[in-house]
Amino acid sequence: MHFFRFPFRPNYGQKLTLLATLPLIVAVAAISLLVAHQSRLMAEREIKAMEEQLIEAKKAELKNYVTQARNGFYFIYGSASPNDDAAKEQVMQILSAMIYGEEGAFFVYDYDGNNLVSPRQTGLINNNWLGLKDSEGTPVVDELLDIARSGAGYHSYLWPKPSTGEEARMITYVTSFPSWRWAVGTGVFIDDVLASTAAARAEVEARVRRTFLYIGAITLTAVLVVFASGMFLNIRERRLADVKLKELNQRVFDAQEEERGRVARELHDGISQILVGVRYALDTAKLRLKQGDDRAGDTLDKGIGNLLGAIQEVRRISRDLRPAALDDLGLGPALKALTNDFANRTGIETEFNTVVFRNRLDQESKIALYRIAQEALTNIERHANATKVSVDIRGHRNGATMAIEDNGEGIPQDTARGDRPGGFGLRNMQERIEQLDGQLKIISSRDGTLIEVQLPLSHLLPPEDPSDPPTKTASRIFETTKTGAAS
């Protein structure tokens, strides 16, 4: 089974393109069948009408022949008695001489079935042909006699052509000479009519086949164009996706390196310097203890103070990397601690408003909102030159909304579009919120900037049970915190 493998293995995008063309193929096939069916029905109706018109013209021609022949010898028949053999002989001679075309002639049968006149097929004369049937089992002479007895009429049957001896379809008009008990008539072969209708049907079938070929060619061309377009778009989108993926990976690496550099600088400039001071204080205290200096205690106190400062610095770095309040207390307290730290560090008047909604956001949403707020406050600290900042987060019937507003200088247009090299902050915000199917709105002017984040309702967890302890229920409060340089 491993020897039989298809050389073409479509990928997912190509499979989608092929699947998308199936309705087109099915629709075109259904339309083709419907068009072919309607074309055949319409052509068949037209061919039937043409055939009926040609046959009616043949019938009218036959009736005219018989009427003219009857008028030609009616002066003999009209004055003759039923037993006037001389008059009958004269009329038979006249009818025998009345031949036309290659096959046309008159015939006469008496009511007993005996043939009296047959100039094209003389072997029929003076023989009785009652019970004669054609190859399809259609009565011939008996039906002609029945029609003559009832007056006049037409009869269709298969009859050998005098010129070839082969059977062909014939239409006969027969009338009666009641006083002589004769059935007189003539017939015409309609194989030319049948050949014309057969040729018309063959042409219709050929037209339908050509139509199928045209539709098939058009459909195949359309499918190939659709598939080629899908392949082109698929390849193009894949290349763009690869480029974007490389850019994203590069941004991730840059962000990691930037974060590592920040942590390294804080460790070196903060903790490392503090620990060096602690070691110097310990060495000094050790030396003074050996010398019996009373100032050794003061030196140890200073070292202990520096060590406490190092512990606080480690806690601050740890909180920046992953705030414990976000996991332990929820998004509201974590954002409150973030804004308090921002106000204390920068001296910017900061207002924080929230309606705590029982910590109902899922973990991904809490992390995303916290990081967006952290990124926004960092950008305000570095670039906005603002004197006032407000952070507002609340839940509602459509989801959750967080708004961060400042009265700074606004965001340059190239930075808002992500064109400025190294300006990944806003792009990171956008990518974080897009992963959660949310929306990021940035309104910036010379009077300040508003960053609004909206999360859909799908990221809110179901409400907690009403029988929860009061400590949880009591957390549904509206809290306003205003901090500034004085705090």
Average pLDDT over residues 5-17: 61
Using DSSP, state whether 11 is helix, strand or coil. Answer: coil
What average pLDDT score do residues 249-257 get? 74
394 pLDDT above the threshold of 90: no
CA 53, CA 57: separation in Å to the nearest integer? 6
Distance CA 247, CA 474 (A): 47
| Nearest alpha-carbon partner for 426 in 439, 410, 442 | 442
Residue 13 has pLDDT above 70, yes or no: no
Q: List, in order of start, the domains of the chain with CATH numbers.
A: 106-189 (3.30.450.20), 329-483 (3.30.565.10)
Tens digit of pLDDT for each residue in 308-365? 877 877 777 766 666 666 777 778 888 888 898 889 888 999 999 987 555 577 888 8
> By three-state DSSP, how is residue 163 classified?
coil
Is the per-residue pLDDT at 18 higher than 90?
A: no
Q: In this structure, are residues 15 and 227 in contact, taking their beta carbons and an 8 Å threshold?
A: no
Mean pLDDT throughout 398-425? Answer: 71
The per-residue pLDDT for range 412-438, each reduced to its tens digit, is: 765 555 444 445 577 778 888 888 888
Question: What is the overall mean pLDDT for the chain?
Answer: 79
> What is the model's pTM?
0.45
CA distance 308 to 274: 9
Order the strands of the 448-456 sheet from edge to edge. 439-445, 448-456, 399-406, 388-396, 349-355, 478-483
Q: How confident is the model at residue 474 (pLDDT cuts 50, 70, 90)?
A: very low
